Amino acid sequence: MGRGGVIVDPGDMAAYLREPRDAFFGRAPCIVKPRSAREVASVLALCNEAGVGVVPQGGNTGLVGGQTPDDSGAQIVLSLQKLDKIREVDPASDTMTVEAGVILANVQAAAEAAGRYFPLSLGAEGSCTIGGNLATNAGGVHVIAYGATRDLALGLEVALADGRLLSGLSKLRKDNTGYDLAHLFIGSEGTLGIITAATLKLFPLPRSRATAFVGLADPHAALSLLTLAKARAGSALVAFELIPRIGVDFTTRHIAGVRDPLAGAHGWYVLMELASPAESGVEELLTDLLGEAMEQGIAEDAALAATLEQRAGLWKLRETLPEAQKPEGASIKHDVSVPLESIPAFLEEASARVIAHAPGARPTPFGHMGDGNIHYNISQPEGADRAAFLARREEINEIVHGLVTKYAGSVSAEHGVGVLKRDLLRRVKDPVALELMRAIKSALDPKGILNPGKLL
Ligand SMILES: Cc1cc2nc3c(=O)[nH]c(=O)nc-3n(C[C@H](O)[C@H](O)[C@H](O)COP(=O)(O)OP(=O)(O)OC[C@H]3O[C@@H](n4cnc5c(N)ncnc54)[C@H](O)[C@@H]3O)c2cc1C
């Protein structure tokens, strides 16, 4: 591995053995940091022979414990940080080929430097890697217009458990030659192979944006606004985020510089954004759309961002919501999705049942409503004992996940399964689907060295 390729000093290893929120810890004999796809493949060949578990790690921002080794001290961490090259940007094909360890913000910047747009965007974009995004099929705020990471990848290069390298860096948008192997690895959380590079889709760079913060009575109104916005704006609708009143209270109370953009209080809010490659037009479109929403009694009030600073302020309110929950005490979190039409019923039922079960608990559901994805967070009752509230986590999870199943939703909309939801997956996933997943795992990784104990 060369100099600096293997870390064994406990102090230097520490940052790789815990994730930044301190929710997951592990031990490892060493951290390996290969510099090329070939080196990744060689490490896997050796580990396969020796039967040593390998935990792939990108930016270490995952929220379900997938990138952390277990506490046996027997698994090694393979960091992709040194695979950080942009191999090619091809504006004519609207593609770029990047190594797995490139930070997402650098992928976006390289696309922009070539006059193109890579739309994946999430709170951790300054530190997460494109390899981690692919391995978790990350979502973020623009899925409504561009899809999740899965929809943004054309081909992958992957190091397999036995040390072979799958060279699938295709730029093709049409290729019907059998199974789409890239999609097998996307969302597999490092359990089937280690992604070393990817060819990604690029889009026209938006040259105009319009952003609004809309006050509404309830999630039914938010759903009506979403339906109207899609009908009027089509693919120009690039973000549609739901925020409850309590979320505005928390952020204005705890985050410096966040202000309530509207004069009066409303039950719910939507942060929506339109974007277009055209120089102008979206602001007018958004103004007309909101006018129509007011006329129809869907929206109660709205504020349009007039400057870049105002736009940043609106997004800050949305992005800092999880941080603003911290000073309010413990919270129990769920990353779920349900079909769009069921969102209002799901939210009403979940809140009623959670509060009946844990009186005083403060549901704070927010997130990517345009994708049916709600971060169903619940803050503890005001002034209550933190540990006593967290002790009820399992019962509250049962309520929320039970409703997700009732409404034909998913218990992991975008963060993946990792170790956090592994046991839950066994209970909620179709048994035939689980059997197929296990069959694929044993075909590609018969010795079970790739991210052992995660996902399955
Ligand atoms: C503030 C914040 C906001 C976030 N917002 C979102 C959001 O909006 N949407 C969303 O989907 N997620 C979000 N996340 C979660 C996280 O950022 C994503 O899961 C991200 O895709 C992980 O990338 P990473 O490079 O940090 O991967 P890591 O955390 O290092 O790893 C995540 C998983 O991928 C595997 N892995 C990593 N690299 C590879 C590789 N090259 N090959 C194979 N397997 C690999 C790991 O083993 C692990 O199972 C957020 C996290 C934070 C902290």
Domain assignments of the chain as residue spans, ordered by start = 6-79, 86-204, 208-323, 329-413
CATH 3.10.20.600 is the classification of domain 329-413: no
How close is the Cα of 74 to the center of ligand 1, in Å? 23
Q: What is the spatial distance between Cα 260 and Cα 99, in angstroms, rounded to a whole number?
A: 41
> Percent helix, strand and coil across the chain, each rounded to 5?
40, 20, 40
Q: What is the spatial distance between Cα 376 and Cα 394, in angstroms, rounded to a whole number?
A: 14
* Residue 43 Cβ < 6 Å to ligand 1: no
* Residue 451 Cβ < 6 Å to ligand 1: yes
Probe ligand 1: pick from 18, 44, 67, max atoms within 8 Å of CB? Answer: 67
- Comparing CA positions, the residue from 16, 119, 106, 120 lying closest to residue 62 is 16
pTM above 0.85, yes or no: yes
How close is the Cα of 442 to the center of ligand 1, in Å? 24
Probe ligand 1: pick from 54, 63, 320, 368, max atoms within 8 Å of CB? Answer: 63
4 burial class (0-12, 13-18, 19+ CB within 10 angstroms)? exposed
In order, the DSSP letters of 374-409 are EEEEEEPPTT--HHHHHTTHHHHHHHHHHHHHHTT-
Q: What is the spatial distance between Cα 357 and Cα 374, in angstroms, rounded to a whole number?
A: 21
How close is the Cα of 61 to the center of ligand 1, in Å? 5
* Residue 133 Cβ < 6 Å to ligand 1: yes
pLDDT at 3 over 90: no
Cβ–Cβ contacts within 10 Å for residue 144, how many?
24
**What class does CATH assign to 6-79?**
alpha beta
pLDDT at 335 over 90: yes
How close is the Cα of 128 to the center of ligand 1, in Å? 6
- pLDDT tens column, 146-169: 999 999 999 999 999 999 999 999
pLDDT at 1 over 90: no
**What class does CATH assign to 86-204?**
alpha beta
* Residue 121 Cβ < 6 Å to ligand 1: no
* Residue 66 Cβ < 6 Å to ligand 1: yes
* Residue 149 Cβ < 6 Å to ligand 1: no
Assigned token pair, 178: 């059998």
Same fold, 208-323 and 329-413: yes
| Cα four-point dihedral sign 144, 148, 151, 153 | positive
Helix 219-233 crosses helix 343-357 at what angle (to 10 degrees)? 160
- pLDDT tens column, 286-315: 999 999 999 999 999 999 999 999 999 999
Q: What is the spatial distance between Cα 156 and Cα 153, in angstroms, rounded to a whole number?
A: 8
H or E element at residue 198: strand 194-201
- pLDDT tens column, 54-96: 999 999 999 999 999 999 999 999 999 999 999 999 999 999 9
- pLDDT tens column, 256-283: 999 999 999 999 999 999 999 999 999 9
Phi, psi dihedral angles at 217 (to 5 degrees): -75, -45
Task: Specify the ligand 1 atom closest to the Cα of 414.
Answer: 11
- pLDDT tens column, 117-141: 999 999 999 999 999 999 999 999 9
How close is the Cα of 106 to the center of ligand 1, in Å? 15
Give, using CA atoms, the residue closest to atom 46 of ligand 1. 67
Residue 156 CB partners (closer than 8 Å, separation 6+): 134, 166, 168, 169, 181, 182, 185, 186, 195, 197, 198, 199
Length of the chain: 456
How close is the Cα of 63 to the center of ligand 1, in Å? 7
Q: What is the spatial distance between Cα 166 and Cα 157, in angstroms, rounded to a whole number?
A: 6
SS3 (DSSP) at 291: helix
User: Which CATH number among 3.40.50.920, 3.30.70.2190, 3.20.20.140, 2.60.40.10 corresponds to the domain 208-323?
Assistant: 3.30.70.2190
